[in-house]
C-alpha cells in the first residue's frame, strides 16, 4: 500500500512475501498487464522504496515516451456495485454512490478467500476508517474547529450509521439467508465504515456501466498536488495509492510484455495520438454535502498518465515523457486540502488550490457596518431575489491578476455605488470585505495565525499524533489564504477584478 504524500498511517495490507506474490498473481489472473520494462512496482520493503512517496508506488524503469502504454487493466478486474455478484440485491436495497460500492466491497470481504477479488482485497490497507476525520477521536476532531471540515466528522458518522441501519442491515439479513458462505462477523457496522473509507479514498469513475468503482492497479499511483492528474478519455479519473509486486516467472513476464507490445499498444498509441491534443478536464471529486464546500478545479497540465477506455479495458498511457527512476504520479484532481483530508486522510505540504469560504451573511453585516444598514437594505431590495447571491463566497489563493471577479461582483451588488467602476473595489468596500475575512479567521480560535499552526503541526508529529498534525496543517493552509487576502485588502493591492464581471441578476 503506497502512502500518500503528507500521508495517513493506516496499516498496510498483506505485504508479506507470500501476500505480495499472491496479489501479483491475482492481478495477472484478473487480466491486469503492465510493462515491466517500462515501470517498476515498488513496495515498502523494496530497497528503492525511498524513491517513491510514502515508500510504495510506481517508478519509471526506463525512459518513458509520451503516448506509451504502460499497463492494461481488464474491466473484469474492476469491483463495482453494478458488476458485483450482489448487484440486484444492492439495487433493491436502494443504495447508490459510495454506499452501494462500499456494500459490494464489504460483501466480497465477508466471503474471505472465496471472493473473486480476494487477492486484491487482502492487499488493501487496514484501519483506513480510523485515518479519515470521521474516525478520529473527539480531541483530534475538536482541532478542526474553524476549518472547512468543522462539523463534518460528526455528520459523516451519523450518516454512516443511518445508512447501515436503514439499508445495509436489511441487505445483509437477506443475503445471509441466501449465502451461507458470507461470514456474519465481517458484516457489522464497523466493517461497513471501513469499506466506506476505502471506497471514498480509492474509487474513481470507470464507465457508464460500472460508474465509480475499485480499480486494481489503477489505485497504485501516488498523488502529487498540482503536478498532474489522471483522467479517462470518456469519463475522468483520479484516486489513491496502493500496490507493489515482485516479478512472476520469466515466462509470465515475457507474456505480459508481448501482449502490451502487440496490437493493444498500437491501438492505444494511435488512439492517444488522435486525442491527446484535446485535454480532457478533470472531474474533480468535491467534498460531500456533509463535509463542506471546498473544491477548485483547474486544467490538466502536467499530468503523467491518462487512462484510456478501450471498451473491455482501461489502458494506462503516459501523457508526457518521464526519465528513468522518476516516480509516476497521478492526481486526485486540483482540489483543496480540506477535500484531501476528508476523502484521503492527508494534507499536502503546499497546495495552490486551497479554498476558504466566508458566509455571504457575514459580508452583508460587514457592509452594513461600513456603509450603514439603510444602503445595504436598499441594495438587497434592488436585487429583488436575495438567492441571486451565493450562500458562500469562495476565497482562493490570490495571484498577480487581482481579486476574483465573482468576489468583486458580490461586494458591488451589496454596497457599490453605480457611479463607481464596476470592476474595482473602493476603499470602503475593501474594508468591508477585510472585516468579513477577519471574522472568518477568528473562527480558528488560536493565536499565531498560519505560522502558529505550522509550529503546532510539527510539535504534534514529534509527539506521534498524526491526526492532530493533519488538523493543524489544514488550519495553517486555510489561514495562509486568509492572511494573503487581508494583506491585499488592507494595502489596497489587487483591487481590480481578474476579468470583467458578469452582471448579477
Q: Return d(Cα 459, Cα 320) in angstroms, integer.
A: 39
Residue with cell 495477472: 28
Helix or strand run (H / E) with residue 259 = helix 250-261
* Residue-level pLDDT at 237: 34
* Residue-level pLDDT at 98: 95
Say if CB 304 and CB 295 are below 8 A apart: no
Q: What are phi and psi of 33, to 5 degrees?
A: -130, 140
Q: Return d(Cα 78, Cα 69) in angstroms, integer.
A: 19
* Residue-level pLDDT at 482: 97
Spatial CB neighbours of 56, under 8 Å, sequence gap ≥ 6: 1, 2, 3, 12, 42, 43, 44, 49, 222, 241, 242, 243, 244
- The segment(s) of the chain belonging to CATH 3.90.1420.10 are 355-491
| Pure H helices in 77-151 | 87-92, 97-109, 118-123, 128-131, 138-142
Q: Return d(Cα 68, Cα 66) in angstroms, integer.
A: 6
Q: Return d(Cα 54, Cα 407) in angstroms, integer.
A: 38
Which is nearest to 344 in space by CA: 202, 212, 496, 159?
202
* Residue-level pLDDT at 402: 78
Q: Return d(Cα 238, Cα 232) in angstroms, integer.
A: 9
Specify the pTM: 0.78
* Residue-level pLDDT at 358: 96
How many alpha carbons lie under 13 Å from residue 350 in its C-beta half-sphere?
Answer: 2
Q: Return d(Cα 169, Cα 172) in angstroms, integer.
A: 5
Q: Which fold has domain 355-491?
A: set domain protein methyltransferase, domain 2 (3.90.1420)
* Residue-level pLDDT at 222: 75
Q: Return d(Cα 221, Cα 203) in angstroms, integer.
A: 13
Say if CB 59 and CB 327 are below 8 A apart: yes
Say if CB 166 and CB 182 are below 8 A apart: no
Spatial CB neighbours of 470, under 8 Å, sequence gap ≥ 6: 6, 341, 345, 346, 347, 457
**Rounded to 10 degrees, what is the CA torsion of 6, 12, 16, 22?**
-110
Q: Which fold has domain 17-330?
A: set domain protein methyltransferase, domain 1 (3.90.1410)
Spatial CB neighbours of 346, under 8 Å, sequence gap ≥ 6: 4, 5, 6, 7, 8, 340, 470
Residue with cell 502504454: 69
Which segments of 294-435 are extended strands (E)? Answer: 305-309, 313-318, 329-330, 355-359, 392-396
Q: What is the b/e burial string over 205-214, where b = at least 16 CB atoms within 10 angstroms of the residue's CB?
A: bbbeebbbbb
* Residue-level pLDDT at 7: 36
- The segment(s) of the chain belonging to CATH 3.90.1410.10 are 17-330
* Residue-level pLDDT at 417: 56
Q: Return d(Cα 121, Cα 130) in angstroms, integer.
A: 18
* Residue-level pLDDT at 54: 64
| Residues β-bridged to residue 358 | 393
Successive 10-residue mean pLDDT values, the chain, 505 residues:
39 47 86 94 76 77 96 97 97 94 98 94 90 97 98 97 98 95 97 97 92 89 51 34 39 49 47 33 26 33 79 93 91 85 90 94 93 90 79 88 85 71 82 96 96 98 97 98 95 56 32
Amino acid at each position: 500500500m503506497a502512502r500518500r504524500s503528507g500521508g495517513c498511517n493506516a496499516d498496510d495490507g498483506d505485504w508479506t512475501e507470500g501476500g505480495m506474490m499472491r496479489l501479483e498473481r491475482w492481478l495477472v489472473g484478473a487480466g491486469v498487464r503492465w510493462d515491466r520494462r517500462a515501470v517498476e512496482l515498488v513496495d515498502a520493503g523494496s530497497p528503492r522504496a525511498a524513491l517513491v512517496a510514502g515508500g510504495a508506488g510506481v517508478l519509471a524503469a526506463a525512459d518513458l515516451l509520451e503516448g506509451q502504454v504502460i499497463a492494461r487493466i481488464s474491466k473484469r478486474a474492476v469491483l463495482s456495485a453494478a458488476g458485483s455478484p450482489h448487484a440486484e440485491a444492492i439495487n433493491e436495497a436502494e443504495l447508490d454512490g459510495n454506499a452501494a460500492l462500499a456494500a459490494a466491497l464489504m460483501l466480497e470481504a465477508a466471503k474471505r478467500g472465496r471472493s473473486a477479488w480476494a487477492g486484491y482485497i487482502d492487499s488493501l490497507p487496514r484501519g483506513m476508517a480510523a485515518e479519515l476525520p470521521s474516525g478520529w477521536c473527539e480531541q483530534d476532531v475538536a482541532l478542526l474547529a474553524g476549518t472547512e471540515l468543522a462539523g463534518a466528522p460528526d455528520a459523516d458518522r451519523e450518516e454512516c450509521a443511518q445508512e447501515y441501519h436503514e439499508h445495509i442491515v436489511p441487505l445483509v439479513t437477506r443475503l445471509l439467508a441466501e449465502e451461507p458462505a458470507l461470514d456474519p462477523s465481517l458484516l457489522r457496522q464497523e466493517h461497513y465504515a471501513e469499506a466506506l473509507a476505502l471506497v471514498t479514498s480509492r474509487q474513481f469513475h470507470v464507465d457508464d456501466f460500472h460508474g465509480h468503482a475499485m480499480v486494481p492497479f489503477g489505485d497504485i499511483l501516488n498523488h502529487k498536488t498540482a503536478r498532474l492528474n489522471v483522467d479517462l478519455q470518456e469519463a475522468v479519473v483520479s484516486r489513491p495509492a496502493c500496490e507493489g509486486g515482485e516479478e512472476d516467472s520469466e515466462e509470465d513476464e515475457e507474456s505480459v510484455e508481448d501482449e502490451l507490445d502487440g496490437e493493444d499498444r498500437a491501438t492505444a498509441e494511435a488512439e492517444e495520438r488522435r486525442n491527446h491534443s484535446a485535454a480532457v478536464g478533470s472531474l474533480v471529486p468535491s467534498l460531500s454535502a456533509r463535509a463542506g464546500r471546498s473544491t477548485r478545479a483547474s486544467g490538466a497540465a502536467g499530468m503523467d498518465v491518462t487512462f484510456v477506455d478501450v471498451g473491455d479495458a482501461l489502458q494506462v498511457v503516459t501523457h508526457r515523457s518521464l526519465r528513468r527512476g522518476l516516480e509516476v504520479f497521478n492526481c486526485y484532481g486540483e482540489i483543496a486540502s480540506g477535500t484531501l483530508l476528508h476523502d484521503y486522510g492527508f494534507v499536502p505540504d503546499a497546495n495552490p488550490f486551497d479554498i476558504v469560504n466566508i458566509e455571504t451573511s457575514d459580508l452583508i453585516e460587514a457592509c452594513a457596518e461600513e456603509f450603514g444598514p439603510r444602503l445595504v437594505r436598499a441594495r438587497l431590495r434592488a436585487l429583488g431575489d436575495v438567492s441571486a447571491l451565493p450562500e458562500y463566497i469562495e476565497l482562493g489563493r490570490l495571484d498577480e491578476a487581482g481579486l476574483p471577479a465573482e468576489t468583486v461582483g458580490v461586494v458591488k451588488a451589496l454596497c457599490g455605488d453605480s457611479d463607481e467602476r464596476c470592476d474595482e473595489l473602493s476603499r470602503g468596500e475593501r474594508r468591508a470585505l477585510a472585516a468579513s475575512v477577519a471574522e472568518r479567521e477568528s473562527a480558528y480560535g488560536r493565536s499565531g495565525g498560519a505560522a502558529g499552526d505550522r509550529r503546532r503541526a510539527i510539535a504534534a508529529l514529534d509527539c506521534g499524533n498524526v491526526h492532530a498534525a493533519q488538523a493543524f496543517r489544514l488550519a495553517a493552509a486555510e489561514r495562509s489564504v486568509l492572511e494573503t487576502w487581508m494583506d491585499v485588502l488592507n494595502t489596497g493591492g489587487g483591487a481590480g477584478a481578474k476579468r470583467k464581471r458578469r452582471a448579477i441578476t
